[in-house]
Amino acid sequence: MAFFRLPTPLQKAQMRVAANLAKNQYPPLPRPMSEVVRGQYRAEMAARGIPEHPEGPMRLSLGCGAVLASAYTRVVVGDYGAYFEFAEAHLEAILNVPSKQNRRMSAKVQRQTVWPLKYEWWQPASGEKVYLQRGLVRYADYRIGMYYVSVNDVALQ
């Protein structure tokens, strides 16, 4: 007789997140799932010594060693990950729109779509995704006009 283990609440949440990401969809998770997955993101941040609210300026550096931002304001923990938030005034790297994003961000496409652009996708030469928030979402507390980068894509200095 074969026994199998049911997935834990964290495993269920991680499977839901992975399935949504595979479809490029970001619906808010049900509250119990959201709490579990956000708790996991916070535990991972704590283990890496990443404060949600910095005490003083802490620079964000890219994998190549260049500085992305001279400071960050907070870490936003949402259903789909943890992201450093920083203002344009703290941006130090040169960012470009990836070629595959040009069409999506064009004014013509935005006028023709029923879904308004929620964020602009930018990146430095080293390739990390940097988001400029343009609209509100329900799965995280992002602020319009702020920049975001995954805590997994940069290091604190």
Q: Which residue has the tokens 């550096």?
A: 61
Q: For the segment 44-69, what is each residue's pLDDT rounded down to a tens digit? A: 999 999 999 998 889 999 988 999 99
**Could you tell me if 116 and 135 are in contact, meaning their C-beta atoms sit under 8 angstroms apart?**
yes
Q: How far is CA 8 from CA 5, 15, 55, in A?
A: 9, 11, 35
The 10s digit of each residue's pLDDT in 84-111 is: 999 999 999 999 888 776 665 555 554 5
User: pTM (2 decimals)?
Assistant: 0.87
Question: What CA–CA distance (Å, rounded) separates 137 from 119?
Answer: 10
Contact 131, 125 (CB under 8 A): no
- Other C-beta atoms closer than 10 Å to the C-beta of 123 total 19
